[in-house]
Amino acid sequence: MFLFITPIISAQSIVDNNQQSIENKLAKLEKTSPQQLDSAIEEWKKIYDSEFQQLSLANKAELLIIGSNMYLARGELAQGEIIYKQLTRLLTKITDLTLKAHATILEAKIAMDKGNSYKALDILTSLNLSISSADNTQLSFQYFSTIAFLHYRMAEYQLALSHYLKASELIPLMLKADQSYNVMELYNMLGLINLDIGKNEKGLNYIEKAIKLAQENGNNEMLAHLYINRGVYYRNTGDIDGWYKNTLSAYNLGVKIDYPIVELTALTNLTDYLIVSEQYKEAQESALLAIAKARQLNAKREEAMSIGNLGMSLFLQGLKNEGIIKVEEAIAIVKEIEFRQMESMMLNSLVDMYADIGNYKKAYNLLREQNLLENELFNKEREKALASMQNKLDLNEKDRINELLKRDLQLKNERLVSQELEQLLMLSLASIAIMALILILIFAMKIKEKNRKLSVKNSQLKLDSQKDPLTGLSNRRGFESFITRYNFAEENIPSTKHSDAILIMDIDHFKSVNDTYGHSAGDYVLKEIARILTMNIRDNEIVVRWGGEEFLMYFRDLNKQHISKVVNRLLKHISQSKFQFEQQTLNVTMSIGFIYSPFNDITGEKLDWEACIKLADEALYLSKHSGRNRATGVIESNDVTNNELRHTPLTDLVATNKINIIEITNKND
């Protein structure tokens, strides 16, 4: 006979057991992988609805942090922010610095998801966390990983790499804490960054480490992602067979485990592979599958990319009008979702398509639209950087003023005390007065020195705002300052023998350099071009990074007959230079549009520099669509009005013989 005895449990034991239970639940939720998000969020809702009111303040805060992070990971920014706002109200009652640090990181993630990258960076920088000062491994790991991912989003690959490497120092402790998924993700990001900066072998090494860890843990979802990224390595190194095999493995694994987002990514990459390998019919079929999958997932970006790929595959099969229609459909979607970078890339493809079918007017209009968009993107990035710099300067100024007020209050207190003791301590008062005077003099000198330093910082900020950070050349703002100092309107007067010259230059097929060798190679080419162009100017002339891969050169007081030789020399210098990036030799050419200034004996007052640049830019367009690696110059006009020069497309003026141009192909002197 068995006797079942019910144990007697104290009230404190029940409390302890409940506390242990909620901590176990929270620990389980913290280990949620992206593939488990839906079920984990449902579990989070159950805990919130049934247990939230009974939890301790610390457990409530932890539950809200986990919930907000999960909703952000699922792309539901609004819900994640609602939970974060509830968390901020709760944190006013909590002193736990670790929880507050987690909340600060969460605030930065929300700013990042809203597109405020510089605000997110300021938030994380203010946290000023380091491995040595943080006693919580997961907090330190999350901090370094978040700030690294932010730099990666901002294309600041070296900064991203340095923070990911700091996070990697915590890998042994993270594995001990059963955080293998986060370690896999870290290896994956280290791999991707190294691939982006052209360190392909190092990138592959990190991806292989992640693959091994994913296989050991049976994480097929992560494994599918890693197959795609290993395919990127093979694409970068020119092994398109390896690219195809890894991408196909990712797709098959995605189908097997019913992981639609990987299926979609793999289909998109397979379509790219099929276009590159000139299997256009198969690319069309792959693009159609990707479009259907993207619409199933309501993934607008991927839908637009796949429709664009469909248009490209149709165009390359000879179905040119059908292909153009699809690319225009894709552009409409990216405009709707405001994905401006992709819009620019697609406009570039559409320009080439219209030029290929002979519709040069449409191609020209689209090229102008793309140039405006590129300028807008360039200016936005510059404005964000300047705003961040100014914000930091403002914070320094506020700290300085607070310090001054604090010292002033201290001085007033000292004076009050001295007045109360005046009758008894006359001798001491005299001494204090002398000391106070000395302090005031020292204080005034310090203020003067700080003001001088602030003035220097402001001057440096103004100077930095006129420089391109990558090449060190002047940017558009710097050129405007140069042309204002030069007094273009008054100095540009007609001369029979001498003239200034404005050149607009664009690197041919620059996108393919980035796509083939990585953004690090593209940056190297831009800096080398800047160096070569700078070698070809005098002290009173200027080279400008005009935007993206475009440069501007302004030559002063040249013999008109000599300008063509200068342009030809530049074409030859660039095309014959060996651009040696790591172990690759890159062949680079440029197309040029140029104009004499003053043009056709019209003074700078009547035809300003913006109008001259417009004509040179349109001449560049003619060089691009006449075969590239050449120059087109606007040299004289026949009975053309200033209004026509400003507002009529150059192609129309040339067609009606109102403008004469000169074409220079790349040849020896």
Q: How many CB atoms lie within 10 A of CB 491?
A: 15
pLDDT in tens, 100-130: 888 888 888 888 887 777 788 788 777 764 4
Q: How distant is the alpha carbon of residue 282 from its chain centre? A: 33
Least-confidence region, from 4-8, 19-23, 207-211, 590-594: 4-8
> How much is the pLDDT for 315?
92
Chain centre to alpha carbon of residue 383: 13
Decide: 64 and 86 in contact? Cβ < 8 Å. yes
* Least confident interval from 80-84, 328-332, 397-401, 633-637: 397-401
Structural domains of the chain ordered from first start: 476-665 (3.30.70.270)
- Which has more confidence, 9 or 384? 384
Question: For residue 135, how many other CB atoms are within 10 A of its CB?
Answer: 9
Which residues pair with residue 553 across a beta bridge?
503, 543
Residue 451 has pLDDT above 70, yes or no: no
Closest CA to 343 of 352, 334, 351, 354: 334
Least confident among 213-222, 557-566, 571-580: 557-566
Question: For residue 381, what pLDDT band results from cuts at 50, 70 and 90?
Answer: low
Q: Which two tokens stand for residue 596?
A: 């004499």
Confidence of residue 6 (pLDDT cuts 50, 70, 90): very low
Tell me which of 4 and 251 has the higher pLDDT. 251
pLDDT of amino acid 346: 87
Rounded distance between C-alpha atoms, residue 597 and residue 558, angstroms: 10
* Of 74-83, 241-250, 634-643, minimum mean pLDDT range: 634-643
**Model pLDDT, residue 395:** 46
Instruction: Flag the least confident range among 7-21, 88-102, 538-552, 585-599.
Output: 7-21
Share of the chain above pLDDT 70, in %: 79
Q: Quick check: 264 and 293 in contact, CB under 8 A?
A: yes
**For residue 446, what pLDDT band results from cuts at 50, 70 and 90?**
low
Q: What pLDDT does 600 receive? A: 57
Q: pLDDT tier at 1 (50, 70, 90 boundaries)?
A: very low
DSSP-derived 3-state class of residue 547: strand
pLDDT of residue 442: 54
User: Of how many residues is the chain composed?
Assistant: 669
User: Is the pLDDT higher at 82 or at 447?
Assistant: 82
Judge whether residue 232 has pLDDT over 70: yes
- Chain position carrying tokens 């009005």: 641
Count of C-beta atoms within a 10 Å radius of residue 618: 24
Q: How far is Cα 503 from Cα 592, in angstroms, rounded to an integer?
A: 7
CA distance 175 to 181: 9
258 pLDDT higher than 60: yes
pLDDT band at residue 507 using 50, 70 and 90 as cut-offs: very high
Tell me the residue type at 292.
A
CB contact at 8 A, 247 and 270: yes
Range scoring the smallest mean pLDDT among 12-26, 71-85, 175-189, 578-592: 12-26
- Region 53-68: mean pLDDT is 86
CB environment 260-284: b (16+ within 10 A), e (fewer): ebbbbbbbbbbbbbbbeeeebebbb
- pLDDT at 361 exceeding the cut of 60: yes
Rounded to an integer, what distance in angstroms lies between the CA atom of residue 120 and that of residue 143?
12
What value does the mean pLDDT of the chain take?
79
pTM above 0.75, yes or no: no
**What is the pLDDT, as a whole number, of residue 277?**
86
Burial 631-666 (b: 16+ CB within 10 A, else e): bbbbbebeebeeeebeeebbbebbeeebbebeebeb
Which percentage of the chain shows pLDDT scores above 90?
Answer: 17
Measured distance CA(57)–CA(84) in Å, rounded = 15
User: How would you write 1-55 as a 3-class SS string?
Assistant: CCCCCCCCCCHHHHHHHHHHHHHHHHHHHHCCCHHHHHHHHHHHHHHHHHHHHHC
Active-site annotation holder among 30, 81, 221, 549: 549
> What pLDDT score was predicted for residue 133?
47
Contact in structure between 127 and 104 (CB atoms under 8 Å): yes
pLDDT (0 to 100) of residue 447:
63
pLDDT of residue 184: 87
- Per residue in 607-650, pLDDT (tens digit) is 678 888 899 999 999 999 888 999 999 887 777 777 888 888 88
Q: Which residue has the higher pLDDT, 81 or 33?
A: 81
pLDDT at 490 (0 to 100): 47
Q: Is residue 169 among the annotated active site residues? A: no
Q: What is the DSSP string of 278-305?
A: T-HHHHHHHHHHHHHHHHHHT-HHHHHH
- The closest alpha carbon to 569, from 623, 621, 533, 522, belongs to 533
- For the cut 90, the answer to whether the pLDDT of residue 572 exceeds it is yes
Torsion angle of the four alpha carbons 366, 372, 374, 380, in this order, in degrees rounded to the nearest 10: -150
In order, the DSSP letters of 338-398 are T-HHHHHHHHHHHHHHHHHTT-HHHHHHHHHHHHHHHHHHHHHHHHHHHHHHHHHHHHHHH
Confidence of residue 460 (pLDDT cuts 50, 70, 90): low
Q: Could you report the per-residue pLDDT of 7-17, keeping only the tens digit for each?
A: 333 333 334 44
Q: Which CB contacts under 8 angstroms, 24+ apart, belong to 216-222?
A: 217/180, 217/181, 217/184, 219/33, 219/180, 219/181, 219/184, 220/253, 220/256, 220/257, 220/259, 221/33, 221/34, 221/35, 221/257, 221/259, 221/262, 222/33, 222/181, 222/184, 222/185, 222/188
